């Protein structure tokens, strides 16, 4: 039998070890935050510099496209800020908050991360100007890594929006410019490199799994989609792609084809124009049906109808701003359908009830030999190490 002094020393050593592991984990999380902020801010600055270079080099089309991407991202950030912190205000005040946030909208992702720290002084300042701080999410039961993912998603929501709204479109545009003009400037290469890092490092959002090898596979699927998108852009806009083979004139009606459709870039541009028009028309019809359905539901339930401000301004604005991220996601997602649809990585069921599913996954993966000793068939051991 061990003496009480030895037991107290062992328990003290275990507490010290846990504190060290906790401090190391916290340091890694803060390092991840610092790298995310540094990459995102650097990517925005380089995108602005590349846009200025487009204008200086006389590439007006690329300059206008880049400015349009910035404008959509700017308005989307301001709309996200208004819906997150000013949804309780009246219609007029919400409009004022949106207009006030619009000039500084590029800083909203950084502000969202700072606000997620829930500093009391910042919360008091926000309440003083009429804004409502976000609610602090209390830790829930579940897989430890999933809890980290959940907290990071709340803190990095602005950076996730930046990746979809700005990093992907700007990176595709800059890649097309390089392949089209052959201008391999260090500024453009660095900007594309940073954008790819910003995009790939957001793959953890759809990658969670209790089975850690599956988590790694999910992350690789997202990275594969990202690099596949840019590989496609490089192929389409490469000057080596050339025109369609003239030997296939009879089969393709080459002589009757308009000149702008005789290249891969022309065919892609025409296809994108048709797809964008179809998406625009479909989403517009769905918007109209949604507004009508909302009015009918309120009328049948004898509830006050939706304000005209939401119907005439907010809903159309959200619809217009959603076109860019919708196109980005639809154009990018391929292998990522595997974790989303097959492995159900966005479903929190496994993570919340990890104490039940982890032993089950372990049994399915390794068989009965790796399961704990017989517990009477009533309850699995809670000390099973994660897989």
Concatenated DSSP letters of 281-319: HHHHHHHHHHHHHHHHHHHHTTPPPPPHHIIIIIHHHHH
| Residues 6 or more apart whose Cβ sits within 8 Å of residue 53 | 185, 187, 188
pLDDT at 264: 55
Angle, alpha carbons 194-323-53 (nearest 5°)? 40
pLDDT at 55: 92
pLDDT at 256: 42
The 10 Å CB-count burial string (b at 16+, else e) for 73-83 is bbbbbbbbbbe
What residues form DSSP beta bridges with 243? 263
What phi, psi does 263 have (nearest 5°)?
A: -130, 160
pTM for this model (two decimals) = 0.71
Residue 190: closest CA among 300, 288, 373, 43: 43
What count of Cα atoms within 13 Å lies in the side-chain half-sphere of residue 284? 6
pLDDT tens, position by position, for the chain (387 residues)? 455 554 555 455 555 455 555 577 778 878 888 888 898 889 899 999 999 999 998 888 899 999 999 998 999 999 889 988 988 888 888 889 999 999 999 999 999 889 888 889 998 999 999 898 887 665 555 566 777 777 777 788 888 888 888 888 898 899 888 888 888 888 888 988 888 888 877 877 777 777 778 888 888 888 888 888 888 888 777 765 444 444 444 444 444 445 545 555 566 666 666 766 776 777 777 767 676 766 666 666 655 555 666 666 777 777 777 777 777 777 777 788 877 777 777 676 766 766 777 777 777 767 655 544 444 333 444 433 334
What phi, psi does 243 have (nearest 5°)?
A: -85, 170
The whole-angstrom separation of Cα 170 and Cα 138 is 37
pLDDT at 253: 45
| Residues 6 or more apart whose Cβ sits within 8 Å of residue 191 | 43, 46, 47, 49, 50, 170, 171, 174
Tens of pLDDT, residues 291-300? 676 666 666 6
**What are the Cα distances from residue 378, in Å, to 359, 370, 374, 375, 381?**
13, 18, 9, 7, 10
Angle, alpha carbons 154-157-161 (nearest 5°)? 165
CB atoms within 10 A of CB 34: 10
The whole-angstrom separation of Cα 152 and Cα 116 is 9
The whole-angstrom separation of Cα 190 and Cα 43 is 9
pLDDT at 21: 56
pLDDT at 237: 76
Distance in Å from the first CA to the final CA of the chain: 34
Token pair listed for 71: 């404008």
pLDDT at 137: 61
């Amino acid at each position: 039998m061990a003496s009480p002094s030895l037991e107290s020393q062992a328990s003290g050593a275990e507490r010290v070890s846990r504190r060290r592991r906790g401090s190391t984990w916290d340091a890694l999380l803060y390092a991840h935050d610092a790298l995310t902020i540094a990459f995102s801010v650097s990517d925005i600055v380089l995108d602005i510099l590349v846009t200025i270079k487009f204008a200086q080099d006389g590439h007006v089309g690329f300059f206008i496209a880049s400015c349009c991407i910035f404008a959509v991202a700017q308005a989307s950030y301001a709309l996200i800020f208004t819906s997150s912190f000013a949804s309780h205000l009246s219609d007029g005040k919400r409009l004022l908050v949106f207009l006030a946030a619009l000039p500084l909208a590029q800083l909203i992702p950084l502000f969202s991360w700072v606000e997620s720290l829930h500093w009391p002084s910042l919360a008091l300042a926000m309440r003083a100007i009429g804004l409502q701080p976000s609610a602090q999410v209390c830790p829930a039961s579940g897989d430890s890594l999933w809890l980290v993912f959940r907290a990071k998603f709340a803190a990095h929501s602005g950076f996730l929006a930046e990746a979809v709204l700005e990093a992907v479109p700007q990176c595709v545009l800059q890649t097309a410019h390089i392949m089209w003009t052959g201008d391999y400037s260090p500024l453009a290469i660095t900007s594309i490199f940073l954008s790819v890092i910003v995009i790939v490092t957001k793959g953890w959002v759809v990658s969670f799994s209790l089975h850690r090898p599956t988590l790694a596979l999910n992350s690789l699927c997202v990275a594969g989609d990202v690099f596949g998108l840019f590989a496609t852009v490089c192929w389409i806009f490469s000057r080596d792609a050339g025109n369609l083979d003239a030997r296939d004139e009879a089969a393709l009606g080459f002589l009757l084809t308009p000149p702008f459709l005789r290249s891969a870039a022309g065919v892609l541009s025409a296809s994108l124009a048709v797809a964008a028009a179809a998406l625009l028309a479909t989403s517009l019809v769905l918007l109209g049906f949604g507004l009508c359905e909302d009015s009918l539901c309120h009328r049948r339930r004898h509830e006050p109808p939706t304000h005209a401000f939401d119907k005439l301004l907010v809903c159309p604005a959200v619809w217009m701003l959603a076109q860019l991220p919708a196109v980005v996601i639809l154009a990018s997602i391929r292998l990522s359908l595997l974790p989303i649809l097959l492995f159900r990585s966005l479903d929190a069921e496994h993570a919340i009830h990890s104490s039940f599913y982890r032993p089950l996954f372990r049994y399915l993966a390794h068989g009965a030999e790796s399961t704990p000793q017989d517990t009477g068939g009533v309850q699995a051991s809670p000390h099973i190490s994660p897989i």
